[in-house]
Amino acid sequence: MRVDGRASDQIREVSIETDFVKHPEGSVLISMGDTRVICTATVEDRVPPFLRGQGKGWIAAEYAMLPRATETRNIRESSKGKVSGRTMEIQRLIGRSLRSVIDLEKIGERTVWIDCDVIQADGGTRTASITGAFVALALAMDKVISKGKIKEWPIKDYLAAISVGVDSKKGELLDLCYVEDASAEVDMNVVMTGKHEFVELQGTGEEATFSRSQLNQILDLAELGIDALIGKQKEALGNIAERMK
């Protein structure tokens, strides 16, 4: 029995509120249980220096937590004057993941900035960020197409992310909340497309290890979670979901 009564293959309650903030081209507030993240997508008409003149675009991501998103208050990274290794890892992961399902040529020389700001944290903030950011990105692409700035729908497939953990007593568990995450021996984050292709697979046995058969059970659970999340993304996108074929 899990701490919040879920079955081992059950994800937390998910909601995706679109257009949560008015200025960005796309924005959502995604909640997965008590984890809540504001994801926004900003379209900028230029690319980073290394891409100039190549006729293709870029997706860059940033991630942060409000200081009191967590149980105890964290010092702001702006006050510390530097971004932590954890933050860097997460924002690189979000950017890479979204780039894998978009046709960068189709968006032209533009950068889409993805900002994921966690306002309340209860485990799984990086996976919720990716799942929410995908919707914000789709909303932004829809708006840019409506304005005629780009011609063709550039997103190739759905994309969502989920965690799976291994608990020494309860075995494999889908979508860890914070308490579960803190005691898990193995923590796997899976980023996957609508066609069940892997985009990212990051598994860590912090002071532990895992076998290949455990890996297979983990991946089976992940596929279930991804399917459920993509269902929620489709609901949130409404008509725009049509564009995804």
Nearer to a copy of itself, 211 or 239 (CB): 211
Stretch that binds a copy of itself, among 4-12, 95-103, 124-132, 229-237 (CB under 8 A): 95-103
- According to CB under 8 A, which residues from 126 to 145 bind a copy of itself? none
Nearer to a copy of itself, 115 or 180 (CB): 115
89 binds a copy of itself (CB under 8 A): yes
Helix (H, G, I), strand (E, B) or coil at 8: coil
Beta carbons of 228 and 11 less than 8 angstroms apart: yes
Stretch that binds a copy of itself, among 10-18, 60-68, 126-134, 233-241 (CB under 8 A): 60-68
209 binds a copy of itself (CB under 8 A): yes
219 binds a copy of itself (CB under 8 A): yes
Nearer to a copy of itself, 44 or 235 (CB): 44
Beta carbons of 135 and 16 less than 8 angstroms apart: yes
Site size toward a copy of itself, by CB under 8 A? 66
- Report which DSSP code applies to 168: T
Rounded distance between C-alpha atoms, residue 94 and residue 81, angstroms:
22
32, 115, 141, 161: which one binds a copy of itself (CB under 8 A): 115
Rounded distance between C-alpha atoms, residue 170 and residue 221, angstroms:
14
- According to CB under 8 A, which residues from 9 to 48 bind a copy of itself? 21-24, 27, 34, 38, 40, 42, 44
Is 86 marked within a binding site?
Answer: yes
| Distance set, CA 184 to CA 166, 171, 181 (Å) | 6, 9, 5
Q: Both tokens of residue 122?
A: 């209860």
Beta carbons of 136 and 44 less than 8 angstroms apart: no
Environment class of residue 209 by beta-carbon count within 10 Å: exposed (0-12), middle (13-18) or buried (19+)?
A: exposed
Q: Among positive and negative, which fits the CA dihedral 135, 137, 141, 143?
A: positive
Place of tokens 């990212």: 200
Q: Which residues bind a copy of itself (CB under 8 A)?
A: 21-24, 27, 34, 38, 40, 42, 44, 62, 64, 66-71, 73, 76-89, 91-92, 96, 99-100, 104, 113, 115, 117, 119-120, 188, 193, 195-212, 215, 219
Q: Binding site for phosphate: residue ranges?
A: 86, 124-126
